[in-house]
Structure 1
Amino acid sequence: MANYLHSLRRRRRERRAELPVRGTGDQRVAVIGLGRFGYSLANELMHRGWDVLGLDTDTRLVQKYSDALTHTAVADCTDGEALRQLGVHEFTSAVVAIGTDVEASILVSSNLLEAKVPNIWAKAVSRQHGQILERLGVHHVVLPEHEAGERVAHLVTGRMLDFIEFDDDYALVKTVAPDIVTGMPLGRSQVRSKYGVTVVGVKRPGEDFTYATAETVVQKGDVIVVTGKTHTVESFAELG
């Protein structure tokens, strides 16, 4: 273990020297759990210039991704001492990307909180799991399967081309412009006062998206991006 730790610290220093300078923030993150979600996240962070430490109990997965990620190690992160030896307590960000083992997810999250890692993200496999993580004090809880399912349901059942829901029942939707807003400036159509949504972008066939203003005239067949309360943007997208 001592030789490994020495090698890991040396490779971290060498890797950080190669990375582009991107502001003053710490660009190190530990991703714990290298399943499909964990590896996809770790790989994307790598492409964004982050120094990624990928950890998993599965030797096969660690070997599989050892060349793709900055650093990898086989480790049981339910053991707080293992995290300490790997230096995870020195990181400013960590992601618990463990899949179906809820007990392991909770134990690892507890260890990271005890180590006072400033930014902890954790994947939840159910709303109950997410509530437990939030009660522990995890800073950010994500439910990728549930969120993806809800998003696809909106796309399948309506005229929406894309749907993103945020906290506080607020959503952003891409949809084909309903006839009621075409052929006149947005300011005159009174979209906000009548329907409770704001048109923030317009895209004509063959053109790029542009910001919408009160003077923008939406034409039939245009794709628009609207924001507002979830139920209002859903109703607006169904106007046809």
Structure 2
Amino acid sequence: MDKKFARGTRSNSDQGHDASVLVIGLGRFGGALAATLDELGRDVLAVERDPDLIRDWSGRIPLVEADASNPVALEQVGATDFPIAIVGVGTSLEASVLITGNLVDLGTPLIWAKAISAEHGRILQRIGAHHVVYPEHDAGARVAHLVSGRMLDFIELEDGFTIVKMRPPKETHGFTVGEVDIKAKYGVTVIGVKQPGQPFEYATAQTRIDAGDTLILSGDTVLLEKFAARP
């Protein structure tokens, strides 16, 4: 096994921010995850059974060729050494379910799994996945918000609470946060203002807003959409 990974192997009880991660499946989702984790300095091992993908990723990240739907193969690659496992297989429902079930049987403390439909996600949760993600759905919803107004970024957390990055509407140009009183008028909160070439600053009543600035706001999704739609 790659020496870089072997040096960082940790016990199953370690689920901290630097815990080792097993990524199963090197499609678009799994490949991007594994590469990003590796760039961040995390101990990551990818498992893939497609020889073409193995060739594509060989030398770029620590990886092994194995069929993770086989529980024996998972044990042989050392899956039990990983506190976190990510199942990036989504196109094959059978493989996704088998792999997730195998990880549950191995006692993996934290399992993230990709789903391509609500039904797929429910199955993964029922068999023991701790977190289910819907990359295509989430990306589509996010882009829909971005193309509908002046938003530059959109993160919906839960229960309708959202954080957005956006260009300021014309009515705010040249005024301070206190003068515009965005919270009272529109029901959303200005977290900060980013001026071009300047560091981020948390907003106060005295923070001035100019046309080239970027606003960071939080609040109800519907209210933020209304504010972002203003000219």
The TM-score range, normalised by the shorter chain, is 0.7 to 0.9
**Aligned counterpart, 1:123:** 114
Is 1:47 aligned with 2:42?
no
- Distance in structure 2 (CA, Å) of the matches to 1:86 and 1:55: 8
Identity %: 46
Aligned length: 226
Moved over 6 A (4+): none
**Aligned counterpart, 2:210:** 219
Deviation of the 1:221 alpha carbon: 4.1
Amino acid at match of 1:57: R
Which has the higher mean CA deviation after the structures are superposed, 100-109 or 219-228? 219-228
**Aligned counterpart, 1:207:** 198
Deviation of the 1:25 alpha carbon: 5.9
Deviation of the 1:106 alpha carbon: 1.3
Amino acid at match of 1:198: T
Amino acid at match of 2:23: V
Alignment map for 1:35-184 (pairs within 5 Å): 35-70=27-62, 72-184=63-175
**Aligned counterpart, 2:177:** 186
Query: Please, which runs of 5 or more residues in structure 2 have no aligned partner?
Result: 10-15
Deviations 1:64-105 (A, max 9, x none): 3221112x2221111222212221022101110013111111
Deviation of the 1:9 alpha carbon: 8.0
- Distance in structure 1 (CA, Å) of the matches to 2:21 and 2:96: 17
Deviation of the 1:229 alpha carbon: 1.3
Query: Please, which runs of 5 or more residues in structure 1 have no aligned partner?
Result: 1-7, 18-23
SS of residue matched to 2:90: coil
**Aligned counterpart, 1:21:** none
**Native 8 Å contact 1:170 1:228 kept in 2:** yes
- Distance in structure 1 (CA, Å) of the matches to 2:195 and 2:18: 41
Amino acid at match of 1:181: T
Deviation of the 1:48 alpha carbon: 1.0
Structure 1 residues 127 and 203, CA gap change in structure 2 (3 angstroms) = same
**Native 8 Å contact 1:26 1:92 kept in 2:** no
- Distance in structure 1 (CA, Å) of the matches to 2:159 and 2:107: 28
- Distance in structure 2 (CA, Å) of the matches to 1:172 and 1:200: 9
The Cα RMSD (Å) is: 2.4
- Distance in structure 2 (CA, Å) of the matches to 1:211 and 1:137: 41
Deviations 1:152-189 (A, max 9, x none): 11122222122222222221112221234344432343
Amino acid at match of 2:32: S
Deviation of the 1:33 alpha carbon: 0.3
- Distance in structure 2 (CA, Å) of the matches to 1:9 and 1:172: 40
Which has the higher mean CA deviation after the structures are superposed, 147-156 or 125-134? 125-134
SS of residue matched to 1:122: strand
**Native 8 Å contact 1:56 1:75 kept in 2:** yes
Q: TM-score scaled to structure 1, two decimals?
A: 0.84
- Distance in structure 2 (CA, Å) of the matches to 1:128 and 1:169: 23
